[in-house]
Structure 1
Amino acid sequence: MATEGATVKRRLTDGAAALPVGAASSSAVSPIYSLDDGCLMHIFSFLAPIPDRYSIALVCQRWHYLACHPRLWLRVERSIKNISEPGVFANLEAAISAARPGDTILIAPGGNHIACNIQIKKPLCLIGGGKLPDDTVLTCSRGSESALEFLSTCKITNLTIRTELGCCLLHRSGRLTIEGCILQCEEDPLDYLSFPIISTANGCDAFPPQPIKHSSNSVTVARTRIEGGAKAVWTSGNLVLQRVRAIYSRTSIFFWFEVGKQ
Structure 2
Amino acid sequence: MEEERIGKWGKPSKSATATSTSAYSSYCRINSLDDGCLMHIFSFLSPIPDRYNTALVCHRWCFLACHPRLWLRVDRSVKDILEPGVFPGIEAAVAAARPGDTILIAAGGVHLTSNIQIKKPLCLIGGGEHPEETTLVCSRGSDSALEFLSTCKISNLTVKAELGCCLLHRSGRLIIDGCVLQCESNPLDYLSFPIVSTASCPELFASSQVKGQGDGVTVSCTRIEGGARAVLIRGTLALQRVRATYARTSIFFWFDVEHKCDD
TM-score normalised over the length of structure 1: 0.88
Q: Residues of 2 paired with 1:209 and 1:162: CA distance?
A: 36
Specify the alignment match of 2:119 in structure 1.
Answer: 121
Aligned counterpart, 2:92: 94
- Residue deviations 1:61-83 (CA, integer Å, cap 9, x gap): 11000000000000000111322
In structure 1, the partner of 2:108 is: 110
Contact 1:165 1:191 in 2 (8 A): no
Residue 195 of structure 1, CA deviation: 0.6
2:41 paired with 1:43: yes
Match of 1:132 in 2: 130
Structure 1 residues 173, 34: CA separation in 2 closer, same or farther (over 3 Å shift)?
A: same
- Identical-residue share of aligned pairs (%): 68
Quick check: 1:16–1:59 contact (8 Å CA) kept in 2? no
Counterpart residue identity of residue 145, structure 2: A
Checking the alignment, whether the CA contact within 8 Å between 2:206 and 2:259 is kept in structure 1 is: no
Output the CA distance in 2 between the equivalents of 1:87 and 1:232. 35
Post-superposition offset of 1:211: 6.3
**Aligned match of 1:10:** none
Task: Report the Cα distance in structure 2 between the residues aligned to 1:64 and 1:189, rounded to whole angstroms.
Answer: 46
CA distance in 2, matches of 1:206, 1:39: 44
> C-alpha separation between the residues in 2 aligned to 1:179 and 1:235?
19
Equivalences for residues 219-230 of structure 1 within 5 A: 219-230=217-228
Secondary structure at 1:207 match in 2: helix
When the two chains are superposed, the root-mean-square deviation of aligned CA atoms in Å is: 2.0
SS at match of 1:64: helix
1:248 equivalent in structure 2: 246
| Residue aligning to 1:258 | 256
Equivalent pairs counted in the alignment come to: 242
Question: Which amino acid in 2 is paired with 1:70?
Answer: P
Comparing 203-212 and 161-170, the one that deviates more: 203-212
Matches within 5 A, 1:87-236: 87-190=85-188, 192-207=190-205, 209-210=207-208, 213-236=211-234
Gap regions ≥5 residues in structure 1 = 1-13, 21-27
Sort the Cα spacing of 1:111 and 1:15 in 2 relative to 1 into closer, same or farther, 3 A: farther
